[in-house]
Amino acid sequence: MSSDDLPASGAAPLVARSVSRSLGALPVLDGIDLEIGPGEVVALVGPSGCGKSTLLELVCGLQPADAGTVTARPAALMPQRDLLLPWLDARDNVALPLRIAGTGRKEARGRAQELLDHVDLGRFARSRPDQLSGGMRQRVAFLRALATDRELLCLDEPFGALDAITREELRAWLARLLDERPRGVLLVTHDVEEAVLLGDRVVVLSPRPARVTGTFAVEGARSGRDVADPSVLAARTAVRDALHDAIAAGRGGIP
Ligand SMILES: Nc1ncnc2c1ncn2[C@@H]1O[C@H](COP(=O)(O)OP(=O)(O)OP(=O)(O)O)[C@@H](O)[C@H]1O
Ligand SMILES: [Mg+2]
């Protein structure tokens, strides 16, 4: 068993094989196989409580696997709750991982300001989280995950708890960022449409203990995708069906 083996640079940023994990007596992950290629976005969908966040924490080395292997590049995690530090302004929140990695204050703040400017948040650099809108907070949390420029990004429901319009804007924003600077992404979402609009592949998990019940490829360049594209619609239907099947199987076959 290993949870922090390092793949060579340029290799798949994540390869997980037969990963199992229990929390106390509770089996949460059961023999998960998952791979992310360089620059590939994999969306992870599954019923609430099935173990998605647990899997992300394992990929980021925050939890060990009980069995199986995880070989991953150092990952940046955007956790399910944004966890911005309320006493730091937006710039210092974005700069935080750089400071933790040993970058000097001036340089870290300069890099954070560049990131904020790049997404039109420059004038809010000195605002604290409680002075920002929900969408702005999500973007600041995003930038914090991007600040260290890791090859693997783990995003745990990054657009959760936002209104539909803001979600759409942030989704397009993320697609553009990934076009500019491709990286491996593991994206947890409850939203099947979001999964097929952003993912190169969508992995469907069963109810707890999570097993992979299906993997679906989505065709077409991410930035040009539209919900009305036949290939996107087909992928959405396939993922939705697989999710319903997985949930029904978890209820003992009652749909
Ligand atoms: N620290 C913990 N100790 C014991 N059980 C835990 C702990 N953290 C999570 N669990 C349990 O593990 C299971 C998986 O939790 P996890 O947060 O990974 O699910 P999830 O798929 O991310 O759920 P959601 O979709 O609601 O975010 C849940 O049943 C949860 O109650
Ligand atoms: Mg979760």
Between the CA of 222 and the centroid of ligand 1 the distance, in Å, is 30
Q: Which two tokens stand for residue 35?
A: 């791979």
pLDDT, tens digit (0-9, with 9 covering 90-100), for 172-210: 888 888 888 899 999 999 999 999 999 999 999 999 999
Residue 250 banded pLDDT, cuts 50, 70, 90: confident
Question: How much is the mean pLDDT over the chain?
Answer: 89
**Distance from residue 30's CA to the centre of ligand 1 (Å):** 14
Which residue puts its alpha carbon closest to atom 25 of ligand 1?
A: 48
Cβ of 21 closer than 6 Å to ligand 1, yes or no, is no
pLDDT for the residue numbered 8? 64
Distance (Å) from CA 230 to ligand 1 centroid: 35
Do residues 125 and 89 lie in contact, with contact meaning Cβ atoms separated by under 8 Å? yes
> What letters, b where the CB count within 10 A reaches 16 and e where it falls short, cover 132-144?
beebbbbbbbbbb
Q: Whole-prediction pTM value?
A: 0.90
What per-residue confidence (pLDDT) applies to 170?
A: 83
> What is the amino acid identity at position 124?
F
**Whether the predicted pLDDT of 239 surpasses 80:** yes
**Rounded mean pLDDT of 211-236?**
90
Model confidence pLDDT, tens digit, residues 70-123:
999 889 998 887 789 999 999 999 999 999 989 999 999 999 999 999 888 999
Ligand 1 binding pocket includes 48 (Cβ within 6 Å): yes
